[in-house]
């Protein structure tokens, strides 16, 4: 996962990009970067760590220009080396280019091999550099960005939401299946394109709409125009964005994530056969699901665990041991709420099972009589190849285990997941328009030997549409 943003604004953009990245910090904590263009020079600054750790006022003041792109990184492909921090910047025939990408390609190696065969050198190990090369390859022939994006959409396989600065013109495009989110907004004196609507809110802006799957958008401070490059009857929006990854206050592809999570909680309560004394979330990821469970069941919502909000996510700790110890520092039980009680503990998902096991033992040590785990996703059975950092099948606790074996391993009194059908219902999106790969092991495009229901993509010719008419269809 990663968070991306592009802003064109009548004033300077570096501070706005900084605030937008702050709003997208949950999408990646490994590195942060900003590139801006002032008409002649491409300014760039990237570093290891959180947005607030990488930038300060003097750095931001030095990033000049009224257009720019930014990125927060959560590594999926590519090693954790500074060269891989984005935006990825280069010059081509005097044009200054900066690219930021969210997603994961499944044919990176193949494309890279083909470039290297021709003697092409690479500076990073990311798939973003492959996208940059494909764009340049086409720009070299036709000089047109539309052709370059068409070329990308024909050749790239996988998920990609991209923002790109080419000599001061801001472009954004989203893969034909719309796997990762991307949306556009109006700011007080310009435009923004970003992974999630919370970044539009952070600008005090107005949400316009999602970038459509297969669409290319061109923005400057005064205008936006869009062009449909590819069309797919059935997109494959990632269901995990709704379960866990996106911020609850974001609207992703027309759905408020918080509401989806509450509805998942309703379904969990409807399907349940226990009557615990209280419903308690695993903070913060299980809060909206737990509120939904409590609303539907009438069982009181009470926080049984308090989170130390000054710690990073346990998942990004470098080793298994560090991850395990971090949970205790991060979460403290509210003994007065849970001692002697039967608790329905609600979380968004179980991946490796490490977090659940530790949390259940914390709640039991605090005196809970019963700990019933209720999970806002179906069991995760298969890896994600399309941008969510998920382990291999062997490392997934439910990869090769039935529910009862998982329950025993995590030490819960009972364990229930929302069903796939209820989850789909909660999103309000047709199953045929979602990627459910991590739950079903069937992916929307062919990936190695995995099962696939390939979705047909058609390429369309057309021209840019501009003005409100192009944007008011949602
Ligand atoms: P675990 O079962 O120990 O692997 O941890 C699962 C918890 O980590 C979930 O409850 C989520 O809150 C969170 N989580 C799930 N998927 C991811 C991911 N791809 N990256 C970071 N955290 C995640």
Domain borders along the chain are 3-236+456-466, 248-443
Give the residue-averaged pLDDT of 448-472. Answer: 81
Q: Taking phi first (over 0 means left), then psi (-120 to 50 degrees means alpha), and beta for anything else, what does residue 414 get?
A: beta
The two three-digit tokens of residue 472, written as one number? 């008011």
Q: Is the predicted pLDDT of residue 102 greater than 90, yes or no?
A: yes
Q: What is the pLDDT of residues 154-178, one digit of tens each?
A: 999 999 999 999 998 999 999 999 9
Q: How far apart are CA 57 and CA 122, in angstroms?
A: 33
Ligand 1 pocket: which residues have CB below 6 Å? 244, 285, 313, 315, 347-356, 388-390
Give the residue-averaged pLDDT of 443-458. Answer: 94
Sign (positive or negative) of CA dihedral 146, 148, 154, 158: negative
The two three-digit tokens of residue 461, written as one number? 């010719």
- In ligand 1, which atom is closest to the CA atom of 1? 19
- In ligand 1, which atom is closest to the CA atom of 316? 21
Q: For the chain, what is the mean pLDDT?
A: 93
The whole-number pLDDT of residue 473 equals 47
Q: Any idea which fold 248-443 has? A: Rossmann fold (3.40.50)
CA nearest 178: which of 386, 470, 336?
A: 386
Tell me, in angstroms, the distance from the centre of ligand 1 to residue 18's CA: 26
The whole-number pLDDT of residue 330 equals 83
Q: What is the pLDDT of residues 411-422, one digit of tens each?
A: 999 999 999 999
174-178, 282-286, 355-359, 459-463, range with the lowest pLDDT? 459-463
Tell me, in angstroms, the distance from the centre of ligand 1 to residue 351's CA: 6
Tell me, in angstroms, the distance from the centre of ligand 1 to residue 338's CA: 24
Q: Is the predicted pLDDT of residue 474 greater than 50, yes or no?
A: no
Q: What is the pLDDT of residues 231-265, one digit of tens each?
A: 999 999 999 999 999 999 999 999 999 999 999 99
Give the residue-averaged pLDDT of 110-137. Answer: 94
Q: How far apart are CA 212 and CA 225, in angstroms?
A: 13
The two three-digit tokens of residue 107, written as one number? 């044919």
Instruction: Give the mutation target among 355, 381, 382, 401 for probing the ligand 1 site: most ligand atoms within 8 A of CB.
Output: 355
Q: What is the pLDDT of residues 180-194, one digit of tens each?
A: 999 999 999 999 999
Give the residue-averaged pLDDT of 287-314. Answer: 90
Give the residue-averaged pLDDT of 113-117. Answer: 94
- Give the confidence band of 318 by pLDDT, cuts at 50, 70, 90: low
Q: What percent of the chain shows pLDDT beyond 90?
A: 84
Q: Is the predicted pLDDT of residue 424 greater than 60, yes or no?
A: yes
Give me the active site residues, please. Answer: 2
Say which CATH architecture domain 3-236+456-466 belongs to.
4-Layer Sandwich (3.60)
Give the residue-averaged pLDDT of 303-324. Answer: 72
Give the residue-averaged pLDDT of 398-421. Answer: 97
């Amino acid at each position: 996962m990663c968070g991306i943003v592009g802003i064109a604004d009548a004033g300077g953009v570096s501070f706005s990009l900084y605030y937008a990245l702050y709003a997208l910090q949950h999408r990646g904590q490994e590195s942060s970067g900003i590139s801006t263009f002032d008409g002649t020079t491409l300014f760039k600054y990237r570093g290891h760590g959180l947005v607030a750790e990488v930038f300060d006022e003097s750095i931001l003041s030095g990033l000049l220009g009224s257009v720019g792109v930014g990125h927060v990184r959560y590594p999926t492909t590519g090693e954790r080396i500074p060269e891989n921090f984005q935006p990825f910047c280069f010059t081509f025939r005097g044009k200054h280019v900066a690219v930021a990408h969210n997603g994961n390609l499944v044919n990176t190696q193949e494309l890279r091999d083909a470039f290297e065969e021709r003697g092409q050198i690479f500076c990073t190990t990311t798939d973003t550099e492959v996208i940059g090369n494909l764009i340049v390859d086409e720009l070299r022939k036709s000089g047109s960005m539309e052709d370059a994006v068409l070329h990308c959409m024909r050749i790239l396989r996988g998920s990609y939401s991209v923002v790109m600065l080419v000599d001061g013109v801001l472009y954004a495009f989203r893969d034909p299946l719309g796997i990762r989110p991307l949306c556009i907004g109006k700011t007080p004196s310009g435009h923004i394109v970003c992974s999630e609507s919370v970044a539009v809110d952070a600008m005090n802006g107005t949400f316009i709409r999602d970038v459509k799957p297969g669409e290319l958008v061109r923005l400057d401070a005064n205008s936006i125009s869009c062009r449909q490059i590819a069309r797919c009857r059935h997109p494959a929006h990632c269901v995990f964005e709704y379960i866990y990854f996106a911020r609850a206050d974001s609207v992703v592809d027309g759905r408020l994530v918080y509401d989806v999570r509450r509805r998942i909680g309703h379904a969990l309560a409807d399907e349940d056969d226990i009557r615990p004394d209280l419903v308690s979330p695993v903070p913060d990821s299980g809060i909206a699901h737990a509120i939904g469970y409590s609303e539907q069941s009438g069982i009181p919502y009470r926080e049984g665990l308090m989170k130390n909000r000054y710690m990073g996510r346990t998942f990004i700790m470098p080793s298994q041991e560090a991850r395990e110890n971090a949970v205790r520092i991060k979460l403290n039980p509210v003994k007065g709420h849970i001692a002697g009680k039967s608790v329905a503990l609600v979380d968004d998902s179980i991946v490796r099972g490490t977090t659940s096991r530790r949390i259940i033992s914390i709640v039991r040590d605090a005196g809970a009589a019963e700990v019933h785990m209720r999970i806002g996703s179906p069991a995760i059975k298969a890896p994600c190849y399309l941008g969510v950092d998920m382990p291999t099948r062997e490392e997934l606790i439910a990869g090769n285990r039935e529910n009862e074996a998982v329950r025993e391993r995590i030490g819960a009194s009972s364990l229930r997941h929302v069903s796939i059908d209820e989850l789909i219902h909660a999103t309000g999106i047709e199953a045929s328009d979602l990627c459910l790969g991590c739950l079903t092991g069937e992916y929307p495009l062919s990936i190695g030997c995995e099962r696939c229901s390939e979705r047909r993509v058609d390429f369309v010719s057309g021209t840019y549409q501009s003005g409100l008419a192009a944007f008011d269809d949602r």
